[in-house]
Amino acid sequence: MLEFYILPTAVTIAVLMLSALGVTFQAVVAVGGFSRIKTSRALLLENLLEVLILIQVFSLSLMLSQVTTNIMGGFAALGMYDFARFCIFAAIVVVSASAALMSKSIWKIVCILPAAVTLPFIEKLAYSAFPWIFTAVLTFWIIRAAYIYISRRREIRGQISGLSVKRAIDALHTGLLFSGTEGTIYLMNRRMQQLMIALTGKVQRNGKNFRDILVRGETLIPTESITLSGHLVYRLTDGTAWMFSEHALSGVPKYFQLSAADVTEQWSLTEALREQEELLVRRGKELENTLLNLEEIRRSEELLSVRSKVHDIMAQRLAMLIRVLRAEEELEASALESFADNLLEDVRAEAETDTAPNMTEALCRDFAVLGVTVDINGAPPHEAKYAAFFGDFVREGVTNAVRHGFATKISILCEDTTEKLVVSLSDNGFVPAGGIVERGGIIEIRRRLAKLAGTLEIEAAEHLRLTASIRKTDEKEGNPV
């Protein structure tokens, strides 16, 4: 290093700055080598070689800085670091040769030559040319470090590291676990680890045991589980639902993958469908009970209707019989028997011709023969339900007037409009001294009127008057017209 004293100070300082740049570049390469993707003995030797080169460049920089310090201080005492230079060179030779053999690359031993140039005996042989050889070696190390740095940057960009894979699967919302068939866990992301803790209370170290816990449902915290599409689904306490599924890795029979997918939305839809199904089942049972009740009501209505018709026909026949007896007319046995015979046939015949005009006309003819006049003012209603009521009301009123009041003249007034129906019946018969006692016939008329939203008024002053009023409604909207 004595040759540097004869150089201008500016040149020495420039070479010193170059050595500092070499230390920086080589340090970047040495540190970056330990963050490479693959790990092997060859790569470890390469990293060790870069560290040794860094030590050599640093030692050269120390020697040059001491020369500069001595120049500034005005004395020439200098330690030549001879032993350290030999040791560093020997280490570089051994490591570079080993790395070349393991990687089968001859380029690894190229660094032996520049490392040998800086040995003490080379300095004595080169004499005045040594500073320039020293500068050339530093330049070589800088260029080499820059080349290696650029190459490794390209290598890192073109490959995926294990750390990047771990970060990638940790970013997934899905839980993933890769394990051997014996249970050894090789890779597991953060989501699966969180699910493990939520389901078992701790991180499981054996993938097979964790899978068996899920299958048997032996979780340590209360959970709700169902089977969805053949896979086990667990609902956690935070409301989320996770479906666990197991897959054997294709081509690698000794390993399997356990995944957990978030199926919270599907769970909610399943719950909604289940609730709808339960609601439909309840509604079905209610409808079934309603239909049974409707059938019972229909039978009761039919039976009540038959009873009502039998009552009306019997009352009509009794009224006619009483009228005949009061007239003191002689009746033949066959005529008397006709009042009781064929009652059911008359009920059936009336049901087949159950219209207001037919019923009222037949009623008027039957009582006219007995001397009872029935006058009907106004046309009977045309609507079926009002027409049926009109016929029953007229027959009940006429029958009661003849039977109980011994009436001989009965007047019926019918007022049928779009808004209401009013039927009034009056007679010239007697009013019972004890007043009107409502029995089966009148009770049935009131029941019929209640179903039609109508009312019945009974006036029993000098003569009897019955007035039925019905306020018609809109069939579609159920509101009064």
Render pLDDT for 36-64 as a digit per residue (tens, 0 to 9). 655 577 788 888 888 888 888 888 888 77
> Does the pLDDT at position 158 exceed 60?
no
Residue 69 confidence (pLDDT): 72
- The enclosing H or E element of 356 equals helix 356-369
pLDDT at residue 160 tops 70: no
CA 405 to chain centre: 76
- 164-262 CATH: 3.30.450
Domain limits of the chain?
A: 2-158, 164-262, 293-471
Task: Give the pair of three-digit tokens for residue 467.
Answer: 């007035």
* CATH fold match for the domains 164-262 and 293-471: no
What whole-number distance in Å separates Cα of residue 246 and Cα of residue 244? 7
CATH superfamily name and code, 293-471: Histidine kinase-like ATPase, C-terminal domain (3.30.565.10)
Given phi > 0 = left and psi -120 to 50 = alpha, else beta, which region is 74? left
pLDDT at 115: 86
Helix (H) / strand (E) element for 182: namely none
Query: Do the Cβ atoms of 402 and 437 come closer than 8 Å?
Result: no
Q: Where are the beta strands (DSSP E) in 125-254?
A: 175-180, 185-188, 224-228, 231-235, 241-248
> pLDDT (tens digit, 9 = 90+) per residue, 238-271?
888 888 888 887 666 678 888 998 888 887 887 7
pLDDT at 472 over 90: no
